[in-house]
Amino acid sequence: MKINAVKNKYRGLSFTLSGFVVFIIALVILIRSLAARNAYEIILSSAALALWIALRCVGAWGLRRLTTLEPLWKPPLPLTAVSGAVPIADWFVTTPALRLPWFFRLHFLVRGRFFPQGSRTGEGCAVFTETSLSRGGTTASLRLSFPLGGLFQGEGSARLRDIFGFFSFPCGLPSRQTLMIRSAACSAKPLRIEALSGAEDRRTRTSSDEERYYMREYAPGDRLRDINWKSSEKVDTLITRVSPDNQEKVTRIEVHFRNYGPARPGIGELWLLDRAKARLAWFLRSVKEEKASFVFNVCAAGGKWELKDQDEIDAFLEELSSLPFSPAQNENSVPEAGGAGEIYVFSTACDTGLPAFLLARQGQPLSLFMVQSAPHGKTECECLRLRDFPAGGIAPFPRWFLKRKAWPSGAGSGRVLIDYAEIRL
């Protein structure tokens, strides 16, 4: 409470370091020139002090109009990490039309903390970026990018600054946001799904709404005699009649996302986890596009999810962005008797419990998607450049530049698809 009171008391004395230095120098020169009776120095120092005082008064007067200002900063949604040659999407800051004093501009600042992959073992990376609105303008672009997925907690605020850099007056109301940053997309690879794995029957719901529950678009394999030609002519699309007693196959796909890793992960481990999340997102979207009736049962260290449609997949991917590493633990998860469906496992080289997990499912159809460090000389790999952090307004931790731990290459039985990732300056 006392700290806030002091801030409010001296809110108007918001001169910058350069403004303070100019004031001290001009004051010293004025005192020395008066003692030496140097008219030339008296005029120069007096003019500098007069300008300093005038800017202070004009800024304080213009600040009264901006007490209720609340700029809106809009990130591109869904917010996705970018790195390498991918173009950075601009954020936009909008304000109502304002009349600012001469020689003053409105600046917008974003400060906060970025937690890569949601890891909160440290205090998070400091984030800072700034933009200014042109005189008479209401919209400005803000350059801020994240090289990998995670969680961002930031605060946006406005400041009224003079063009000489002497004063910076805080104005308006700050706004806070918590944003999930999804992992950047990974490259597509050949994928084969066993369409009958884990299939089970369900009975279609009955309803009095015939158009909704007894009609659907024509699909390859439907009988021609079931086509409703009268309804098809109205909507210019083939419509098929569906009996209320018809049973449709629902394919349930078992997915295990193993986000197990070290308690204090470095940037190398976080990048592996980021690529594993990107591969999982690619898998869910690709399979759902192949057949809309697929239902995913996803199991991870943070919980379990049942994903039936695209909306549920999007909500899961938003939650997946901030899912951190979980400490390795003893697992007693043995497949249920009679479970003959193929399972799909996503893991990283940091997962020390993966061999035991695969051994417990020996003999069961399994596809493993593994992310590991690129071996020496490997050219086809996904790279994270550390210089992209400061370029995007993020301060990387110094320990990220130290020598990183080398994790052993993962191995598994069944089909294995390996993604390679590495860190570069």
Domains 67-181 and 249-424 share a fold: no
User: Model-level pTM?
Assistant: 0.77
pLDDT at 352: 86
pLDDT at 212: 42
In this structure, are residues 349 and 410 in contact, taking their beta carbons and an 8 Å threshold? yes
Name all contacts of 355-362 with Cβ < 8 Å and 24+ positions apart.
355/411, 355/412, 356/331, 357/256, 357/258, 357/331, 357/333, 358/412, 358/413, 360/331, 360/333, 360/334, 360/335, 361/335, 362/413
Checking if the pLDDT of 336 tops 70, the result is: no
**Residue 233 φ/ψ, nearest 5 degrees:** -65, -30
Of the candidate CATH numbers 1.10.3470, 3.30.70, 1.10.155, 3.40.50, the domain formed by 249-424 belongs to 3.40.50
Residue with tokens 């698809």: 417
Checking if the pLDDT of 284 tops 50, the result is: yes
Checking if the pLDDT of 246 tops 70, the result is: no
Of the candidate CATH numbers 2.60.40.2550, 1.20.120.140, 1.25.40.10, 3.40.50.720, the domain formed by 67-181 belongs to 2.60.40.2550
Checking if the pLDDT of 161 tops 60, the result is: yes
Q: How far apart are CA 71 and CA 131, in angstroms?
A: 12
Terminus-to-terminus CA distance in the chain, angstroms? 44
Mean pLDDT of the chain, nearest integer: 80
pLDDT at 199: 39
Domain boundaries, the chain: 13-64, 67-181, 205-245, 249-424
